[in-house]
Amino acid sequence: MPPTPPPAKKALTALDHRIEAAVGHSIDQLWQHRDRDLLDEPHARLAEAHRALVQAEHTVTFYRVQLQRLASGEFAVDHALFTRINRTVTTLEEAAAARDDREQQVKAALEPVEAATRSRGTGPSAELPPPDHAALLAIAQGATLREHLLTQRLSVVTASGTRVTYSQFRRLEQAGLVARDDSHPLHAGQPVTLTDAGRPLLAAPRPPGPQPLPPVRRAGAWPTASAPRR
């Protein structure tokens, strides 16, 4: 029985750059979002197909390295060596064919994501402000809308300990990005979850934060020397 290939891990594939361009961030982030169940169905399907392709790529690499070792001169040239080489070549061919099948599956899963990215363009969904993106990410980890018993103020408490103000929550709710289960009383906490429209935004490119402004010199202040005097 041939040795078992190593377990899958993230590695460069021929489609990585195309995937990153479509999802707007790195492969590492795509896998992390999948592990945390933050992706919609098309992105989740793409992440799973990419995992399978990475596993197939590692299998091809494993048997290719094994074949190189058999031909390196380390072993005596005899019938046993020819048998091992032939067996390894056959296994490598099968691994390459499986890799090609996985690559086609990734391409099929990638096409609807690319189409959605093209149609989204620079529309409102691509312009989610960083504070709202952070709020969605916190809510995705588990959140409840609660009413304070003394002040009667409403706020969203997340599993990470982050609090989302009620005004921000209402803005996200009215935009259709989050929803609450109002079958629970507010004093006990109403579960808040992302909607099908909110989940894809966590996989979308994050908008750049505001650029720092240049320092403003007060009127009458001495200018700062650009270089020390000699």
| Mean pLDDT for the stretch of residues 57-65 | 95
Task: Please report the pLDDT score of residue 51 as a whole number.
Answer: 95
Q: Could you tell me which residue, 228 or 71, shows the higher pLDDT?
A: 71
CB atoms within 10 A of CB 47: 21
Task: For 203-224, give the secondary structure using H, E and C.
Answer: HCCCCCCCCCCCCCCCCCCCCC
8 A C-beta contact, residue 46 and residue 110: yes
Rounded to an integer, what distance in angstroms lies between the CA atom of residue 140 and that of residue 36? 9
154 has which bridge partners?
147
Task: Please report the pLDDT score of residue 5 as a whole number.
Answer: 55
Q: Domain coordinates of the chain in residue numbers?
A: 16-120, 127-203
Helix ranges (H only) for the chain are 16-23, 27-35, 41-70, 79-120, 130-140, 166-174, 199-203
Q: What is the pLDDT of residues 16-38, one digit of tens each?
A: 988 988 887 788 888 988 898 88
| Residue 9 CB burial class (10 angstroms; 0-12, 13-18, ≥19) | exposed
